[in-house]
Structure 1
């Protein structure tokens, strides 16, 4: 008999981190640590660590630890998100045009309506000319974590819809960052970025698989994109979308799936929590919270995320469905759409990033507190809706299973009756 192999602890831990429930909990834990640390007597050590500069100044990479978290580690997060989106677009649920259009249209509605609401509520407030972009994004990791924790009974198509929606509107948010928060554009670095991305696509086409080429190339793409002046997370998105997702007959899995499998634990267990640790440390004392209620900019962010996301996502999706431009994913109902749309208000990662880029340090701290408040509110409301919808779907599946059992029993009884009738007829014939 073959001996049982002992489980590899590292592999088991990586598998543990791949689950969305764990990823959401790790992110939530990092946020809690940041808030406690930044509001404790040790707050000076938090600020000192976040503002500590590391890296070679000659390459303009003498960045703070907080900047390395948002420019470097988040590129890994967006690379993994780009891989999953590319896979869904080519081989998954979104390979059908009308199914793929729905999350795209919903994401556009989920960007436009929150931005307009934030502008309307904060009109005339200093900083709103740039801060209106804060509520346009949905946090992929946090939203999927809430869905996994509270929506286990939801159809699997709800997860794909949420993932696609979140990735599309985060791409839109990153595009806004590139347009709004790029002071100087280095055209030479931009041309180098495009050449390196073209080389990556060529290597994928030629079926090159060695990491000895891809790792230095990915770093070079990140450096070039960073040098252009646009946000360096664009490098991760671009590389993810250029990765091959169809496997050849001799391959056990496509490159996108292999990379996603290897990098997802690093993204969920390191990149996103470390970013949250250095982005979510904002004052939440009584004075700070009192100031939030009276701050029109913070109110604009909260209304944009909690109300704007729900109205924008659900409204755009229902309009597209009514016009027969797109269809709901298989197994999803209109009420499920509202529950998932509410999750769009969990702005967190990219919203915190835009708050840092759009405002001065004091304004950014207030806006980030608004993002945390809005994300928590949206997550709790969405969780309540998801629990209710999950119960409905479980009950429905249970009733369907009972109906199938009754049908099977009736068929069996009919067969038995037929067999009995045949035996009786045969005996009568013999008599």
Structure 2
């Protein structure tokens, strides 16, 4: 369980009488990132999320990246507030229990390849026939239809096909990836949004007993594609293919990454017309501040290299702190590029209470990121960090009506 220390966000959240999703039951079927991140957010805001894991090893993410006592530190965040139930889905009784849970759930979250749940008689249409109010969030690489639906599709593939990789990096080098699994995470957020919309529709058409459920079909590549701004109309209307531009934002000037005298990287976004003038005045470039061609963005775009060179020359004469001080005084959006080390001591992060203090079962302290978004009346909270494998087997199965002898027999038979 969590151990929030001091007068921090955890204490304030603990005083909340109810979380916004209290009373909502979620069954999580899936592994790794997209489906579990979707389930995580629902759990953070009060839903009872029962996560089915394979006996033995459980979700592979338990072994990803940095480990403590054989379990990933990532797991502490990705599975917080969830109940872990081990079920052997190759066993008929395991599938029967999963079906029981699915029919009781308000929302089912899954990220298997299309067709897997149908083989287990847990597909959307199969469950809908038994419970028309079923809401199923299905996250997959390419969606539930189309010629690619049966192909494996990880976040990296979604980022590539959805257009993000093509525009990431420098023009003279191969595309690069973002340093986190952004494709999976963006898909998960689409899943949460879709689940909330579907839940609203169900509740306005009769509620859990009589309302209309639906399938939320989330494709990773489409979730990434949804972020791609003006990509399509620019190509369709003007034949423009957006290319890689490094740290700059093409067609919006100036907005780029520069290097200060002490070797730090600083992002300066002086692309608003009034902001640009303030930036030039703060830099002592009265000539550019008063240049009529540069008063609007379309004129500045034509002289992008000149403007960037002027800003970089100014940065060459300032260290990061002095540069930020000048720019903030001039009301110009600018910021240092943070590492996690910077975040952990930053006054803004601390003032917003973006870290929570918890502890492992052995008493070892661990900081986790606080929950976002921040709701003023019913904020989310961490009730416990990622559970041990099968930690909630007895609790979940007893709630379904199984006795201790039956649970013990299922363990012997390899169901759990």
Q: TM-score band, normalised by the shorter chain?
A: under 0.3
The higher-RCO structure (CA 8 Å, 6+ apart) is 1
- The structure carrying a bigger helix percent of its residues is 1
When the two structures are superposed, what TM-score results if normalisation uses the length of structure 2? 0.23
